[in-house]
Amino acid sequence: MSFLDLARKRQSDRGFLAQPVERLQIERCLEAARLAPSACNSQPWFFVVVDEPALRTAIAAELNHFAMNRFAPTAPVLVAVVAENPTLLPRLGGMIKDKPYYLLDIGMAVEHFCLQAADEGLGSCIIGWFNEAGVKRLLGIPKGKRVPLVIALGYPADPATRPKTRREPDATRSYNDYPGTR
Ligand SMILES: Cc1cc2nc3c(=O)[nH]c(=O)nc-3n(C[C@H](O)[C@H](O)[C@H](O)COP(=O)(O)O)c2cc1C
């Protein structure tokens, strides 16, 4: 599969089969995430994989937040992404430049994870709307740390690739200057 085909195949799956996911497959997704780039190579991430059924059910309840993410209990694997303290240089740089580099880094690592999942024939959904305090309490994550995202992973209930809903190409790019300013 070409990289573009893989990018087309990756989609947010919001319903999963009960079929378990092999740890080896999870490991390959984690390896893809580990290889992601980050500001000053800070690698400010830690992945807590939850595949133990009772704990997973409890985490899923925290993801089903104000009627969002009702599908979460169907995912056989949930991965909480913990933001680790960035090293001094990107932290300072982020403050000076007013850019939360660590969130950009985590976004890239999470997308690497999800693309590897798609390559494995697995489905995933990046989840950013959830009860963070509840997830942290269940996983023993210290209060001072943040959990920006959770990834739902499993075999999709509907494996068909949907057409992507995206802005038109011309609305997303230009060459050599920004449109409409001169
Ligand atoms: C940072 C981030 C947070 C997201 N949070 C949620 C979420 O809480 N629940 C959900 O169902 N989808 C969530 N999504 C998935 C997006 O809705 C989805 O990527 C977008 O609609 C494009 O669809 P596609 O992933 O199928 O291509 C999130 C995606 C990102 C990148």
Could you identify the atom of ligand 1 that is nearest to the CA of residue 129? Answer: 8
Q: Are 15 and 156 in contact (CB under 8 A)?
A: yes
Is 127 domain-assigned? yes
pLDDT at 112: 99
pLDDT band at 118 (very low <50, low <70, confident <90, very high): very high
The binding-site residues of ligand 1, defined as CB within 6 angstroms of any ligand atom, are: 11-12, 14, 68-69, 125-129, 164
Once rounded to an integer, what is the mean pLDDT over residues 35-44? 96
| Nearest CA, atom 9, ligand 1 | 127
Is 148 domain-assigned? yes
14 CA to centre of ligand 1 in angstroms:
10
Is 181 domain-assigned? no
Please report the beta strands in the chain, taking only residues with DSSP state E, as ranges in sequence order.
45-50, 77-83, 123-127, 146-154
Is 132 domain-assigned? yes
Is 86 domain-assigned? yes
2 φψ region: left (φ > 0), alpha (ψ -120 to 50), beta (else): beta
pLDDT at 140: 98
- Please, what sign has the CA dihedral across residues 41, 116, 28, 122? positive
Once rounded to an integer, what is the mean pLDDT over residues 107-115? 98
| Nearest CA, atom 11, ligand 1 | 69
- Total structural domains in the chain? 1
Q: Say how far apart CA 132 and CA 141 lie, in whole Å.
A: 10
Q: Is 89 a residue whose pLDDT tops 90?
A: no
Q: Is 97 a residue whose pLDDT tops 90?
A: no
CATH number of domain containing 157: 3.40.109.10
pLDDT band at 168 (very low <50, low <70, confident <90, very high): very high
Angle made by CA atoms 81, 32, 42, in degrees to the nearest 5: 60
Is 177 domain-assigned? no
pLDDT at 90: 85
Ligand 1 test: best mutation among 6, 12, 124, most atoms within 8 Å of CB?
Answer: 12
Once rounded to an integer, what is the mean pLDDT over residues 165-175? 97
Is 182 domain-assigned? no
pLDDT band at 91 (very low <50, low <70, confident <90, very high): confident
Is 82 domain-assigned? yes
Question: Model-level pTM?
Answer: 0.97
- The shares of helix, strand and coil residues in the chain, as percent rounded to the nearest 5, are 40, 20, 40
Provide the residue range defining the domain that includes 15. Answer: 3-172
Once rounded to an integer, what is the mean pLDDT over residues 107-116? 98
Q: What percent of the chain has pLDDT over 90?
A: 90
Q: Is 87 a residue whose pLDDT tops 90?
A: no
Once rounded to an integer, what is the mean pLDDT over residues 135-148? 97
Q: Are 112 and 35 in contact (CB under 8 A)?
A: yes
Ligand 1 test: best mutation among 126, 146, 153, 161, most atoms within 8 Å of CB?
Answer: 126
